[in-house]
Chains A and B, each alone.
Chain A
Amino acid sequence: MTDALFEYAPAPESRDLVDIRSSYGLFIGGEWVDSLGDERGKSINPATEEVLAEIAYAGQPDVDRAVDAARKAYDSVWSRMPGSERAKYLFRIARVIQERARELAVLESIDNGKPIRESRDIDLPLVAAHFFYYAGWADKLGYAGFGPEPRPLGVAAQVIPWNFPLLMLAWKIAPALACGNTVVLKPAETTPLTALLFAEICRQADLPPGVVNIVTGAGGTGQALVTHPGVDKVAFTGSTEVGRLIARGVAGTRKRLTLELGGKAANIVFEDAPIDQAVEGIVNGIFFNQGHVCCAGSRLLVQESVEAELLAALKRRLGTLRLGDPLDKNTDIGAINSSAQLEKIRSLSAEGEAEGAARWSPPCVLPDRGFWFPPTLFTGVSQSHRIAREEIFGPVLSVLTFRTPAEAVEKANNTPYGLSAGVWTEKGSRILWMAARLRAGVVWANTFNRFDPASPFGGYKESGYGREGGRHGLEAYLEV
């Protein structure tokens, strides 16, 4: 960092809060069981490359057991339980999450690489809020607009990504359980630890065995789970590429499917926007969680008349971002989650330069060990460039310009994705005019990357289908 305004002393969060076992089994039927196979993998700390734990890669026989346990719990307990009782279990889980929030946040940052400031202040409060929100729905489903007594679907197979491990778990499990389904959830192979700790939380809450089952593993485990004939519902969050494979896999069956996939969101700044506020929003839009966000504002569309002013302010701001130890409370940008993801970000960024865009990063010292990528922005980007079309899923911003609102809409919608968009202007009527024309599931005005359990989230076009959050999120788990 140059011209640092302040000297920061390290302020690391204590690691002693968490107790990581050297090896984990699978959580099936309320018990920890060993995998029937012998395939195992390692979860590492992406900031240090230290091995955290060995985890089982569940095979077909393990998935069979988990689905059986979920079915048994569905038939004998969960689907018969009054909604008011299900609600109380979910409230209990929400409370235990709050009680153990610091522990969960530290574990999340260790396993994922995200800054503790984000896991502590954003992920964990949203996780608890999500369980609270859907707990309240469990005994009010008849008022949700899906008929007087909507039925659950049965056993839900849920596969979640590594960018928000515990938050995505909450988005999947809370509405499923509230509606009366039981679940088999597979966390990502690089970030399984908070889901495994969540299994302990289910035990603390006395959740009936088999209502929540956690199977760890990689793509093979996920495939065995979503194609399992005993599953009634598949919910997936992850890449569009894998989403397509899953959609093909469930074709011709009666399984219900919701997909929350990739994005290439436009963050549109008009000349009348509050520039300082917009700069914060742009930073939050693309550098939040190292840009590992499906709805990240990865395309900045700035009105030509304020381009120079905005870019100067943005570059100044990027110069103050602190990259480093995720457990340090001062850290803004943590570690890239895996070497594979780092390689993808590097290769697409190199492609950006090769295609003629100008690359810029603030002076930034990267730690020697671990996976790191500096905050990066590209100017002179055209719509045909790969960095303007493909999801990079890293701290890389592509800057494009526009002259008229109509041109902004045209460029923003020129993508096969349609998850989110941002609009920055002081004019309320323009916000609504733009919002009506942007083909995206979430439109943030004068803000970005905000989430709330009461706010439905999900994409248009190739960003997937179905909504998570709000009343709309119930539809994915009810017979409607």
Chain B
Amino acid sequence: MSERLAVRKTYKLFIGGAFPRSESGRSYVVTSAKGDFIANAARASRKDARDAVVAARKAFGRWSGATPYNRGQILYRIAEMLEGRRSEFADEFEGTVRRTRGKDGKDAAKRASDEVDAAIDRLVWYAGWSDKIAAVHGSANPIAGPYFNFSQPEPAGVVAVLGPTSLLGLISTVAPVVVTGNTCVVVCERAPLAAITLAEVLAVSDLPGGVVNILTGHLAELAPWLASHMDVNGIDLTGADERLAAECEVAAAGNLKRVLRPGQDDWSADPGVGRMTAFLETKTVWHPIGV
């Protein structure tokens, strides 16, 4: 009896809660570290990026208007769903890395499962921030006058995320953007399988469609369109190299996007609040006091 032939998965884009192929009909090959074929990933076009921004904008009102408690519940739900699919992520991750032991003595399987565990824990960490960031970042301001004056953080709007190359990096960039009420368009070039499998998790986690949109494709092709898009309010350049990041920052000045420049990110370190505050506005209200 011959071995059963596996049913392969088609990796598509994730826009507005649906899984379309690229409107361009293009794809690119994803290989293992050894160069073996793994899958064809959809190669998103400018049009796909624009569609994703429309979906993100459409989702912004409801998501930013949801209670922080509700957003925290949903992010925690994503972590639960990820936990249930640990092995799938670990297999995918393992498939794309070298099967040799790393300097830390861990084999590929161990590294893969550690990576997925860290990603899940990171998500749980951010989920808890939803109803705390305003307490830490907002204030009642002691002004000289008969007003109750308070400042509170609000989401900037639609944020483009040039995603890093790992599941942990992806979670570490997307979670801080959406936990505060932003919606986003993520471009992922070098870890497309993890990104799209993550999308499948998001689709079953009560996350409203359009809050997170994921495009696989070429960063250098898509990023400049998002950086210059007039209905995008912020851009996280983490996944861009120095030249692309500078090019995108220039384009982002067109509508004065909030820009998070790429840095030396150590995804295993304490993330701090910087990735959240980068895409938060501060609103100050003067409310009259009187009888």
Contacts and interface: CB of A to CB of B under 8 A. Distances in A.
B141 interface: yes
A462 B255 contact: yes
A333 to B, nearest CB: 24
Nearest to A147: B272
Nearest to A465: B258
B255 A454 contact: no
A44 interface: no
Interface in A423-480: 428, 431-432, 435, 440-447, 450, 452, 454-458, 460-462, 464-465, 467, 470-472, 475, 480
Contact of A428 (B142, B274, B283, B287): B287
B145 interface: yes
A204 B284 CA distance: 36
Contacts of B142: 454
A247 interface: yes
Instruction: State the majority secondary structure of interface residues on B.
Output: mixed
Given A244-B256, A248-B253, A251-B249, A129 B284 contact: no
A172 B151 CA distance: 20
B205 interface: no
Contacts of B274: 480
Nearest to A460: B281
A123 B241 CA distance: 46
Contacts of B252: 247, 251
A55 interface: no
B253 A251 contact: yes
B288 to A, nearest CB: 4
A380 interface: no
A418 to B, nearest CB: 8
A324 interface: no
B246 interface: yes
A70 interface: no
B149 interface: yes
A251 B237 CA distance: 12
A181 B266 CA distance: 28
B24 interface: no
A244 B151 CA distance: 26
A68 B284 CA distance: 37
Given A441-B284, A443-B284, A252 B149 contact: no
A450 B284 contact: no
Contacts, number: 107
Contacts of A129: 144
A467 B282 contact: yes
A2 to B, nearest CB: 34
Interface residues of B, number: 35
Interface string B262-291: 000000000000100100011111111000
Interface residues of A, number: 44
B255 A416 contact: yes
Interface in A388-433: 416, 428, 431-432
Interface in A235-264: 240, 243-245, 247-248, 251-252, 254, 259, 261
Contacts of A445: 285-288
B38 interface: no
A454 B141 contact: yes
Nearest to A245: B253
Contacts of A480: 274
Interface in B142-197: 142-145, 147, 149, 151, 156
Contacts of B204: none
With most chain A CB atoms within 10 A of its CB, the pick from B136, B245, B281 is: B281
A450 B139 contact: no
B241 to A, nearest CB: 12
Nearest to A462: B256
What 7 A-B pairs have minimum CB-CB distances, sorted nearest first? A252-B246, A251-B249, A247-B253, A452-B143, A446-B288, A251-B250, A248-B253
Interface of B: 136-137, 139, 141-145, 147, 149, 151, 156, 233, 242, 245-246, 249-250, 252-256, 258, 261, 274, 277, 281-288
Given A240-B256, A452-B149, 20 more contacts: A243-B256, A247-B252, A247-B253, A251-B250, A431-B287, A432-B287, A435-B283, A435-B287, A441-B284, A442-B286, A443-B284, A452-B143, A454-B141, A455-B149, A455-B151, A456-B284, A464-B256, A465-B256, A465-B258, A472-B282
